[in-house]
Structure 1
Amino acid sequence: MPDAAAAEERANARLAWARNATDVKELELQRASVDAGYRSYWRAQVGDGSRIVMDSPPELEDVRPWLRMRALLASGGVRVPQVLMEDTANGFVLMEDLGGPTLAQVIDADNADAQFDAAIKQLLRLQKIQPPLGMGEFGHALLQRDAGLFEDWFLRRHLGLELDADDLQRLEEAQGLLMDNALQQARVVTHRDFMPRNLMPVDDGPAVLDFQDCVVGPVAYDPVSLFKDAFLSWPIERVDEWLARYHARALQARIPVPHLPEFRRDADWLGVQRHLKILGIFARLHYRDGKSRYLPDAPRFITYLDEVLPRYRELDPLREVLDVRIRPAMERMPLPSP
């Protein structure tokens, strides 16, 4: 984490750049949002409205992958923020202000069908993009890293669990099945965090945010991320209905999805893989980065697992480890306050 002097120096550089970029000498910046990475977003009032300044310190988070991916998604018709000025050397970007609330803040049980219909439209545009040569792959190495996050940070660091040989074998067996399923699916451009807090409600949107880590990945990954959010839960019956709705529209758009029963299994299994990974990430954010507001959501992911694992006997080894080792350890370990 930067010290106070470095933070003040960066703040001065950010303000000077924003004043120059907007040609408003008296401009002031107000914090617009905070995320789990090193980027920060600042709102600037100008004559005809407001702008957003993205601050991405080059030594911590290179802004160029974000800009390259923004251009790729825009080329496919995906609604992304309009960039007005960029400074890659210093890590500053001036862009349109899409407004305040994210989709996560405005969606509710009554408007969810319409909101998700609009989100699916953007997702299908994203999935139809031809991946450029050299684009990152959601492959075995990434899956192994995700599995390691769960074991190293959530089980060992947070819960203090050291699994015995039998439990490790059960966990590795289940993780192997999840990995094989992910690797066997059709491949499309994959956001990897296509969820309501990364979508902004606008008339021609929703606009898609936080897309710099897009890869070529399994076709069911983003749909299940959208409907089984890290921060917002829905009844599983509605999730199943939305997955079927996405599937029908994907077939019409010629996205390479399998028959619905197979697609539903693929989405469920990717959901399990993703939930385990996020548990590891939330624990790492708490213990390594001092960001404790994420870990209190951990029980949400256990609920997701409880809903899905009984559907698939093949995943019984994971269910056994969850019931016998993980759940009792969580009950003994109070979660930090957000």
Structure 2
Amino acid sequence: MNQHLIRQQQLQKWINQSTNFECKELQLVSGDASFRRYFRFLYEGQWIIAVDAPPKVEDCGRFIDVAESYRQAGVNVPSIYAFDLEMGFYCQTDFGEGQFAQALNNKSCDHLYKRALACIPAIQSCQATAKGKLPLYDHEFVQRELGIFTEWLLTEYLQLNLSTSQSNMLKTSFAFISHVFLSQPTAGVHRDFHSRNLMLLEDKTIGIIDFQDAVIGPITYDGVSLLRDCYQKWPEESVDTWTKEWHQEYFSQYPWNDFKVWFDITGIQRHIKASGIFARLKLRDHKDVYLKDIPRTLQYIIEVGQQYSELKTLVEFISSDVLPSVVIKQGAKS
């Protein structure tokens, strides 16, 4: 019997023996980029989500702690009904099937993005849980994330042998990105605030999920995660308009020109990291589905990075070496 089925049976047994619910059948809802799996079951006419978060690779205690902090701040997150940290199981509110990502279209995007951006101030007010302060997105943290790009996308996936000049170029480019990233004011950061982690609930509010990696970091991080989403792409004029309106409403104490630089470079840092993570998901975790998102993610770096002279050589490297290699490799596998 495979490990997934064993865990599913253990989860159902735990629900029936250790919670106030009765579960006759678990329906798989989804897995995601982590090792968590989500199931749905019906109890007295109400759907409940049951989560399998294997404790060796997932910290469901962190999710539960952040959920409580977010809820106290007015962030619309699932309620946690029951949990077992040793087993890595918990039950939570079922936010339904209304995915923000699927509701986005040319007519709805303006309204939906403004509503989603309006959720960020409450998230930013959360800088601690009952267990203490959230981790700080510090220099070491940023460098570790940027290193995912070099290790997993360039070396492991593309098997590029970097020259000394290329390695030095990456080091210089990453130093500039880190400096800008860390120079801006900080606040609470969801860290994965994008279209797939937002739900549209029956009462028309936005529900927020997948927040267990929350940190204290740059004020632009969640905004750029949403507006330059690795899974969605909108005309730059629209993104610029939404960003300016968000800045004017919530961050007008900071000059727009400074805010725009923070926003752009924070997005580039995120896209560098994400493209490496997508390669790692393929190679380490055997999740091929994310490979198709790498070209879009790299294209963001090129389009935004070309506006900054400090990133000229990085943009040229990605344009001439990295992106074409990805396209060729993926074309060969299709």
Q: Report the TM-score, using the length of structure 2 for normalisation.
A: 0.93
Matched, 1:195 2:194: yes
Q: Residue 175 of structure 2 aligns to which amino acid in structure 1?
A: G
Q: C-alpha offsets along residues 168-204 of structure 1, whole Å, 9 cap, x if unaligned? A: 2222111110000111110100111100100111236
Structure 2 partner of 1:305 = 301
2:42 to 23, 45, 49: 45
- Which aligned pairs between 1:1-338 and structure 2 lie closer than 5 A? 4-20=1-17, 21-24=19-22, 27-131=24-128, 133-202=132-201, 203=203, 205-251=205-251, 258-334=254-330
Q: Residue 102 of structure 1 aligns to which amino acid in structure 2?
A: Q
Q: Quick one: distance in 2 between partners of 1:161 and 1:23?
A: 53
RMSD: 1.9
Identity %: 32
Q: C-alpha offsets along residues 17-48 of structure 1, whole Å, 9 cap, x if unaligned? A: 223435436x1110112101111110101222
Unaligned runs of 5+ in 1: none
Cα displacement (A) at 1:298 = 0.9
> Quick one: structure 1 residues 335 and 51, their matched pair in 2 at CA, closer, same or farther if it must change by over 3 Å?
farther
Contact 2:127–2:133 (8 Å) recurs in 1: no
Q: Quick one: distance in 2 between partners of 1:209 and 1:335?
A: 34
Q: C-alpha offsets along residues 47-67 of structure 1, whole Å, 9 cap, x if unaligned? A: 222111111122221210110
Cα displacement (A) at 1:243 = 0.8
Q: Quick one: distance in 2 between partners of 1:336 and 1:291?
A: 18
Unaligned runs of 5+ in 2: none
Q: Secondary structure at the match of 1:293?
A: helix
Cα displacement (A) at 1:101 = 3.2
Q: Quick one: distance in 2 between partners of 1:320 and 1:278?
A: 19
Number of residue-to-residue matches in the alignment = 330
Q: Secondary structure at the match of 1:94?
A: strand
Q: Secondary structure at the match of 2:288?
A: coil
Contact 2:295–2:327 (8 Å) recurs in 1: no
Q: Quick one: distance in 1 between partners of 2:298 and 2:57?
A: 32
Cα displacement (A) at 1:104 = 0.8
Q: Quick one: distance in 1 between partners of 2:284 and 2:232?
A: 24
Q: Secondary structure at the match of 1:161?
A: coil
Cα displacement (A) at 1:337 = 6.6
Q: Residue 84 of structure 2 aligns to which amino acid in structure 1?
A: D
Cα displacement (A) at 1:158 = 1.2
Contact 2:82–2:90 (8 Å) recurs in 1: yes
Contact 1:186–1:218 (8 Å) recurs in 2: yes
Q: Quick one: distance in 2 between partners of 1:22 and 1:215?
A: 33
Cα displacement (A) at 1:134 = 3.5
Q: Residue 24 of structure 1 aligns to which amino acid in structure 2?
A: E
> Quick one: structure 1 residues 128 and 184, their matched pair in 2 at CA, closer, same or farther if it must change by over 3 Å?
same
Q: Residue 160 of structure 1 aligns to which amino acid in structure 2?
A: Q
Structure 1, 266-275 or 319-328: larger mean CA deviation: 319-328
Cα displacement (A) at 1:88 = 2.0
Q: Quick one: distance in 2 between partners of 1:293 and 1:274?
A: 19
> Quick one: structure 1 residues 328 and 230, their matched pair in 2 at CA, closer, same or farther if it must change by over 3 Å?
closer
Structure 1, 188-197 or 320-329: larger mean CA deviation: 320-329
Q: Residue 207 of structure 1 aligns to which amino acid in structure 2?
A: G
Q: Quick one: distance in 1 between partners of 2:113 and 2:333?
A: 31
Q: Residue 108 of structure 2 aligns to which amino acid in structure 1?
A: N
Q: Secondary structure at the match of 1:194?
A: coil
Q: Quick one: distance in 2 between partners of 1:118 and 1:98?
A: 17
Cα displacement (A) at 1:325 = 2.4
Cα displacement (A) at 1:323 = 3.0
